[in-house]
Structure 1
Amino acid sequence: MQMRKSLLLVALVLAGCSQLPAPEQVSPDKVRSPEPAAQQVQEEVVPDSDTTEAIATNFEQIFIDSDISFTGTLPCADCPGIQYHLNLYRDGRFEVRQQYLERGDINIIKGIWLLEKRNLHLVNQQHTLPAFYFSNNNQLAMLDLAGKPISSALNYQLKRETDFIKLDTRQPMLGLYFLNDNQATFTLCQSGESLPVANTQHHLPMMRHYQQDERFRNNAVIATLVGRKQDNAQGETQLLIEKFEQFWPNAVCPDPYAPGQIQGIVWRAEKLAGRYLPQQLNVRMIFDSQDRLYGFAGCNSFNGSYKHQANRLNVAGLASTQKYCSNSSDVEQQFTSSLQAADRAEVNGDKLQLFKDNNLLIEFKPALN
């Protein structure tokens, strides 16, 4: 009896363990759809524009992929400033025009540019030019000799022009002119470069003047003019004369390594009564070996006689043409009066200085152009 109860208890336990709950009946409207995959976020693409390109490059490297122009006036140690016009060409060339304000000096320099990240180097074998730093795409900052940005209240910036501007390559020139069978050459005193002269309308008056003066025939004569270099159809560089000024008989190219003489040099007046003369007047003169002097005072040509011995100077018999020029006549009168009043002339370094009672009246430098 006891055995039968035990078997019955075991049977009931096994039956309880083997019974599974009935599956839950879920209505169709309660069936949940599977979770959707995460959606991909589409980045908004901003189209290229001047603004986006500037932002992209202002903080990275600079790329010069078009011809561009920069202009501005940079400080100068001994003049009011240097006007710059710098053209960078996408093929790696550059051209720059430097104009020294109130000094009459204009340099046209060509070469290749090198870009080191944001530093711009202008390379020319004859001239040393400053390096610049791209502050941004539209501005160049001049660097010092150590290659560092210049910290100053003065403006050392060149700004990019909106449009590319062709360089003005005209400049005053001084050199040796020689004519043979209507073919002329001009050798620049400053560089020694010899150029064939194109037979243009502005060259004809110069050619006739040379042919009519017996002193000039078969001789190279110092001349001053305004001209520009240009390649012809054959690729030859020639000189195009824009304006002929005058010949300077018995003059020579100035020798920067042998200063000390006043004769035979075309002198350009730099300062009058301590102030720079306006560059556009281009006041020049020469003391020749025959005790004669002549020159151009900004409006009129003049000539006279002089005596120079042991630095003592005496100018006499000064005569000039009588044109009136509203922008130069006052300066011209002051210059000619000071020239006649001078009692002493000294060459100090590359400067010719005229004094009256130890007071400096006029300061000249050899005309190189």
Structure 2
Amino acid sequence: MALGLLLVFVAAGFMGCHTPKPVREEALQPMAQSYRGVLPCADCAGIDTSLFLAENGTFILQHHYQTDRPGNRVFATYGKWARTADKLVLTDVQGDKRYFRPLENGLEMLDRDGAPIVSSNAYRLTATKAPLPTTPMAMRGLYRYMADAAVFSDCFTGVTYPVVNNIVMEKRYLQVRKSSEDAVLLTFSAHFAVVPSMEEGMEVKSLVPSSASFQMKAQNHCNE
């Protein structure tokens, strides 16, 4: 009898030692913030990298390659971010994913599988305050112009933004649309900027067309 009780207590103690502990999520606070750092580069001095996270679940990522070679050295992309218990997952408009994890006062870049990079080099971005980049990015979405205001609903993120006045684009919309309230499918290059809104004293994140070059189609949906 005593042996039986002893085995019960031992079993209970064993089970107690292996009871899983609750997983604690380390929130990235605040969610809308920017990071910057110089990441290692195989054939250049480094990649000056800036990451901007927005509260609506979107991001902007800019890479500036530090090299003397001719050609464009600055590139930017945007997309959607999501948070797991220990990782930040970025998915750009091409469907490519990048992974980071919180580390001290910033983020550490992970490899393509979301695992730590084994290297003597630092793959870190530090939290900082910086203006949004003006590097043009290719965008595709639904565009409307009415009542002297234009809006763009991005096909990939589903987020709608005001568009800074562009007379050429507005005139073309009036020619292409099928009816007065229809949207058209717009492909163009633009960058984000925080500009004064129509409400006095307020600012709003808007899209600034980068050039007069764009494609507009009489189609009010994103499907191919």
- Per the normalisation by structure 1, the TM-score is 0.33
Instruction: Identify which of structures 1 and 2 has the higher relative contact order when contacts are C-alpha pairs closer than 8 Å and 6+ apart.
Output: 2
- Per the normalisation by structure 2, the TM-score is 0.48
Please tell me whether Structure 1 or Structure 2 has the larger radius of gyration of its CA atoms.
Answer: 1
When you count strand as a share of all residues, which structure comes out higher?
Answer: 2
